[in-house]
């Protein structure tokens, strides 16, 4: 499927599932904002992707998704760089049993905030062209710890 001319934002995009998704999007012609907390891994990932897909096809935005202001800025920076937003993939996630509140902030609250920000930038209700929002989740929540 060609995604030529489409713009995506992927949280947790520097490694694991997020990176695989970013590579697939770029390979199908999309421009991508790679959003991740880890600065060094994000910069290394962007450098690798630039080598594979060209320097003007993705940007790295360092962002703690639990910081609503920084998350909003990541969306705005994506639109400023690429002129639009068509796909949002809320992929960032952690599993920190010792700090369950942080886990809830990353795995739930930031997904909700990311979804609302995506709607602001893509919804036809706001005069935009529409788009796709994908919220990634883990199967860990369906397993019993015992």
The pTM of the full predicted model, rounded to 2 decimals, is 0.93
Q: What is the mean pLDDT of each run of 10 residues along the chain (146 residues)?
A: 92 96 97 97 98 96 97 98 97 91 94 97 88 88 60
Which residue do the tokens 């796709």 mark? 132
What does the alpha-carbon distance between residue 6 and residue 20 come to, in Å, rounded to a whole number?
A: 17
pLDDT at 96: 85
pLDDT at 1: 66
pLDDT at 146: 58
**Crossing angle for the helix pair 16-27 and 39-53, nearest 10 degrees?**
20
């Amino acid at each position: 499927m060609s995604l030529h001319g489409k713009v995506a934002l992927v949280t947790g995009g520097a490694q694991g599932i997020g990176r695989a998704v970013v590579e697939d999007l770029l390979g199908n012609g999309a421009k991508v904002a790679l959003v991740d907390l880890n600065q060094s891994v994000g910069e290394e990932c962007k450098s690798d992707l630039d080598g594979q897909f060209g320097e003007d096809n993705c940007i790295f935005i360092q962002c703690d998704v639990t910081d609503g202001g920084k998350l909003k800025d990541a969306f705005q920076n994506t639109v400023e760089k690429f002129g639009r937003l068509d796909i949002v993939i809320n992929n960032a996630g952690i599993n920190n049993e010792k700090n369950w509140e942080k886990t809830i902030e990353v795995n739930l609250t930031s997904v909700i905030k990311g979804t609302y920000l995506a709607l602001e930038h893509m919804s036809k209700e706001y005069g935009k062209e529409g788009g796709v929002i994908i919220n990634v989740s883990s199967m860990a929540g369906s397993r019993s710890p015992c």
